[in-house]
Amino acid sequence: MLIFAPQDKCAGLKPSHTVVRGQPFYPFTFTQMMTETVQDSRSPSAARRSFKSVTCPFCSLLCDDMNIESRHGRLRVESVRCPRAVTGFERPSPPASARVDGVEVDLHEAITTAAKLLKSSRQPLFGGLATDVDGMRAALALADRTGGIVDHMLGDGIYRNVLAMQDRGWMMTTLSELRNRADLIVFAGTDVISDHPRFFERFVWNKESMFDLDTGGREIIYLGRGLDAGAGVSPQGRQPWHLKNDPQRLGEIISAARAALAGNPLQAKTVAGVRTREVNRLVSRLKAAKYPVIVWSPPRLDFPAADITIAGLCEFIKELNQFTRCSGLALGGNEAAATAGAVCTWQSGYQLRVNFGPGHPEFDPVRNATGRLLANGEVDALLWISSFDPAIRPPQSAIPTILLTPPPEEFDRVYSVYIPVGVPGVDHAGQMCRVDTVVSLPLRKLRDTTLPSAAMVMQMLLKLL
């Protein structure tokens, strides 16, 4: 039986920051990694244990105020009411075996088979990429070694933002600035709480703030029909203002607002289902605010040419700065998209959708998109990583697929190779980048497991290639 070193052991070792040409990350050998056991006197498996100020990895806000109770290895969220966190931390980790073509095998055979698949592939795709910093470094090293392509499972949303930013630039803020300075917040096409349940608790209706800001007096505006505006009601009961435009026509509202801001009166009576005088009122409110912030979430702007809508938002923000201090805040970044983008940027110079096939990183946000590559048969092997949610599976395709997830309740199909991995911040220590990418936070190991991290699996693969 193969036993893995708990990741806390690895956390004390300094990984190499070099990825290009795939150097190993930890100074121990493949054999050691496969056989070493570690006695940890502070074992999380103690019958009952409390963990304070834990970082939550289950959305890109990375709340670091979680109290987690462990009883005989079962985790319980104690301090906060966040459905995503409860689902993530309290998901049991049933016993699991590696599989090859649906048949249970030992880990060595699974790793060897996966390595053969990658070795024989002319153009592999490293997709999903829901992993921590070490996992993303290892994925990049594998892609570099095999001439593969890297793309995140939320790559389409990520590129709505990246294209807008590349074209014209943008003026953005951080979660801390929003929390401490914003007096008016516009939510453009997103209610936020569906993806980030504690956003309002931590950054909008926060009880304490710097600069004596009365957070309860903040003005909240939603743009888009169908958004859940309940979280925008202030603690004193003040209702948000909700403009119920057609969500797919947000760009028209922004264009009309830009025209009004520039002093060009609009002839139309309505724009995208909203009366023109309401658009004028929106502009007046923004101009009168001391620090308005416009928030959007690229994955939620899922309609054709949404990058042009985002570009319009970014231009509107810049133009508002002639009258007041205004900034944007792009959310999204879940499933470690913020981490994957940051690591890929600092190691390859590009934010994902990078092809290492030519012998150097080649960036192309259109050609290197997962959906297009699979639909056109331009890749012949897929390694898919989803280490936070085992239910997120790769798109259907006929190519050999290697799956790295925590143990799932059931499989949706037979995978060429399945290797169970631990959850970063639950089964092993690690590090992740917050959605505003200005900080990275440490993740802790909360329970004992024999599951390797995705990083360890990929480092073992690297040694066989």
- From 5, 56, 337, 451, residue interacting with ligand SF4 (rule: CB under 6 A): 56
Instruction: Return the bridge partners of 293, or none.
Output: 185, 327
Question: Is 336 among the residues that bind ligand SF4 (CB under 6 A)?
Answer: no
Q: How far is the CB of 62 from ligand SF4 (least distance, A)?
A: 5
Which pair of structure tokens corresponds to residue 273?
């289902």
Which pair of structure tokens corresponds to residue 139?
């994925």
- From 84, 145, 152, 445, residue interacting with ligand SF4 (rule: CB under 6 A): 84
- φ, ψ (nearest 5 deg) of residue 207: -75, -35
Q: Which stretch binds ligand SF4 (CB under 6 A): 39-47, 57-65, 130-138, 174-182?
A: 57-65
Question: In Å, how far from its chain's centre is CA 127?
Answer: 13
- From 10, 62, 313, 331, residue interacting with ligand SF4 (rule: CB under 6 A): 62
Q: Which stretch binds ligand SF4 (CB under 6 A): 15-23, 82-90, 238-246, 402-410?
A: 82-90
Asked if residue 10 lies in contact with residue 456, where contact means CB atoms within 8 angstroms, the answer is yes
Question: Is 428 among the residues that bind ligand SF4 (CB under 6 A)?
Answer: no
Nearer to ligand SF4, 416 or 431 (CB): 431
- From 10, 75, 85, 340, residue interacting with ligand SF4 (rule: CB under 6 A): 85
Task: Give the number of residues in contact with ligand SF4, rule: CB under 6 A.
Answer: 13
Judged by phi (left if over 0) then psi (alpha if -120 to 50, else beta), residue 127 lies in beta
Question: Is 59 among the residues that bind ligand SF4 (CB under 6 A)?
Answer: yes
Nearer to ligand SF4, 68 or 111 (CB): 68
- Three-state SS at 180: helix
Q: Tokens 């909700």 appear where?
A: 242
Question: Is 61 among the residues that bind ligand SF4 (CB under 6 A)?
Answer: yes
Nearer to ligand SF4, 62 or 443 (CB): 62
Question: Is 82 among the residues that bind ligand SF4 (CB under 6 A)?
Answer: yes
Question: Is 337 among the residues that bind ligand SF4 (CB under 6 A)?
Answer: no
| C-alpha–C-alpha distance, residues 426 and 334, integer Å | 17
Q: Tokens 């959708």 appear where?
A: 353
| C-alpha–C-alpha distance, residues 462 and 465, integer Å | 5
Q: How far is the CB of 196 from ligand SF4 (least distance, A)?
A: 5
Nearer to ligand SF4, 197 or 365 (CB): 197
Instruction: Return the bridge partners of 440, or none.
Output: 433
How many degrees, rounded to 5, is the angle at CA 206 between CA 186 and CA 66?
115
- Length of the chain measured in residues: 465
| C-alpha–C-alpha distance, residues 210 and 297, integer Å | 26
Which pair of structure tokens corresponds to residue 16?
């190499």
- From 49, 196, 434, 445, residue interacting with ligand SF4 (rule: CB under 6 A): 196
| C-alpha–C-alpha distance, residues 48 and 76, integer Å | 11
Q: Which stretch binds ligand SF4 (CB under 6 A): 21-29, 77-85, 223-231, 316-324?
A: 77-85
Question: Is 443 among the residues that bind ligand SF4 (CB under 6 A)?
Answer: no
Alpha carbon separation from 319 to 26, 287, 326, 375, 387 (Å, rounded): 49, 10, 9, 41, 41
Nearer to ligand SF4, 64 or 156 (CB): 64
Q: How far is the CB of 160 from ligand SF4 (least distance, A)?
A: 21
Nearer to ligand SF4, 59 or 250 (CB): 59
Q: How far is the CB of 197 from ligand SF4 (least distance, A)?
A: 5
- Three-state SS at 15: coil
Nearer to ligand SF4, 317 or 433 (CB): 433
Question: Is 126 among the residues that bind ligand SF4 (CB under 6 A)?
Answer: no
The amino acid at residue 383 is: L
Q: How far is the CB of 329 from ligand SF4 (least distance, A)?
A: 15
Asked if residue 183 lies in contact with residue 219, where contact means CB atoms within 8 angstroms, the answer is yes
Contacts with ligand SF4 by CB under 6 A lie at: 56, 58-59, 61-63, 80, 82, 84-85, 196-198
